[in-house]
Amino acid sequence: MSQTEQILSQLPGDVLGRLRNADKVWKALRDGTTEIPEVITETEEGLGTLDLDVVICGGTLGILIGAALQQRGWRVAVVERGVLRGRDQEWNISRQELEVFLELELLSTAELENAIASEYNPARISFFEGPDFLVNDVLNIGVDPVFLLDTLKAKFLAAGGKLFEKTSFTQATIHPDGVSIGLKVDQLEDTQVKARLLIDAMGHFSPIVKQVRQGQKPEGVCLVVGSCAEGYPKNEMGDLIVSFTPIQNQCQYFWEAFPARDGRTTYLFTYLDANPERPSLEFLCDEYFRLLPEYQGVELSQLDFKRVLFGFFPSYQKSPLRMPWNRILPIGD
């Protein structure tokens, strides 16, 4: 049993299964076998009366925009395929970037402070066999996504916004005067909502984006794995970007580390193309656990792993992505 299998099997939920499912998606992207859906169609027929101004598919990012639009008087619905709740993993950001919540009057000063779970200074930048550079006030704030999204969700609903939880986007038809959006509620009933604009906040793997990309391979991909754990002897500083090894497995490994409320979060990430021979996420996890003791000066046996994280982020030369239709706006990654 590998180190990855051993550690992930001890965590609640099928984390190892989710890792291997993510690897299937990554392999399909490398092999050029990604399924191409057809979820958007067009018609010249008028739609008539509209239910809403904006429908946002993708609740984690969507609730941020939805709350702002609803507060300004637009009729907004947010669609989330699960329950709209923030992850337990903190989001790192700079304090200056959080000011937008106050400027848009989405949060009070007290609410913003309550959303901050951790704060540290300084952060380190270091490259193989080079000196360390220390910087202040960059990604040094850890935001509690659970509190933040719960607060914005409550404000969105109080302002009259509509929230569709456990609801999946299925298709949309573009009309001259609006867009008809098909939704499947809790994997049971189908429903249609009619709006002026559809905002796609479902990310790179949105079925809408897949239809536009038509199986195009990305020019670059960032693979990332990491964890949050307790037991680190030193947890006062963070790392913005650190590399302490030469190129291995045709990859340059970069590391990040952030003090968190319930331990320390560390990430290993690397940049590569989508060649079929590139390594899997599970392989990168093995490398992460192999090198983590050297990186943080602590044995794996001393750590109590709370969460293990993984994912990949494709990037395209043809970016930002332009929609070939009216009335659909992609946002986010």
* pTM for the full predicted model: 0.93
Q: Which residues of the chain have pLDDT under 70?
A: none
Which tens digit of pLDDT belongs to each residue from 23-43? 999 999 999 999 999 999 999
d(CA 180, CA 29): 30
268 located within any domain: yes
104 located within any domain: no
User: 197 and 287 share a domain?
Assistant: no
User: 47 and 78 share a domain?
Assistant: yes
What is the 3 state secondary structure string of 240-255? EEECCCCCECCECCEE
User: 69 and 160 share a domain?
Assistant: yes
CA–CA–CA angle 39, 43, 44 (5° rounding): 160
Domain count, the chain: 2
User: Residue 50 in 3-state DSSP?
Assistant: coil
User: 176 and 311 share a domain?
Assistant: no
Which residue in this structure is represented by tokens 């020019």?
219
119 located within any domain: no
What was the pLDDT predicted at 92? Answer: 95
Max distance between CA atoms of the chain, in angstroms, equals 66
Half-sphere exposure of 249 (CA within 13 A, CB side): 12
Closest alpha carbon to 46 in 176, 182, 203, 136: 176
User: 191 and 166 share a domain?
Assistant: yes
What was the pLDDT predicted at 134? Answer: 97
What does the DSSP assignment read for 200-220?
A: E-S-TT-HHHHHHHTTPPPSE
What was the pLDDT predicted at 186? Answer: 83
User: Which token pair is 16?
Assistant: 């190892």
Which residue in this structure is represented by tokens 């332009």?
322
User: 199 and 257 share a domain?
Assistant: no
Which tens digit of pLDDT belongs to each residue from 233-274? 888 899 999 999 999 999 999 999 999 988 999 999 999 999
63 located within any domain: yes
Closest alpha carbon to 324 in 40, 106, 61, 68: 40
User: 160 and 301 share a domain?
Assistant: no
167 located within any domain: yes
120 located within any domain: no
130 located within any domain: no
Residue-range definition of the domain harbouring residue 199: 40-90+144-214+319-330
User: Which token pair is 292?
Assistant: 């983590």
User: 60 and 74 share a domain?
Assistant: yes
d(CA 117, CA 101): 16
User: 221 and 210 share a domain?
Assistant: no
What does the DSSP assignment read for 275-287?
A: -TTSPPHHHHHHH
User: 22 and 84 share a domain?
Assistant: no
User: 274 and 159 share a domain?
Assistant: no
169 located within any domain: yes
What was the pLDDT predicted at 256? Answer: 98
User: 309 and 238 share a domain?
Assistant: yes
Return all residues near 156 (Cβ < 8 A) that are at least 6 apart.
Answer: 63, 66, 67, 70, 76, 78, 163
d(CA 227, CA 19): 13
What was the pLDDT predicted at 236? Answer: 87
* Neighbouring C-beta atoms of residue 22, cutoff 10 Å: 16
- C-beta separation of 123 from 240 below 8 A: yes
- C-beta separation of 281 from 22 below 8 A: yes
Looking up residue 62, the CATH number of its domain turns out to be 3.50.50.60
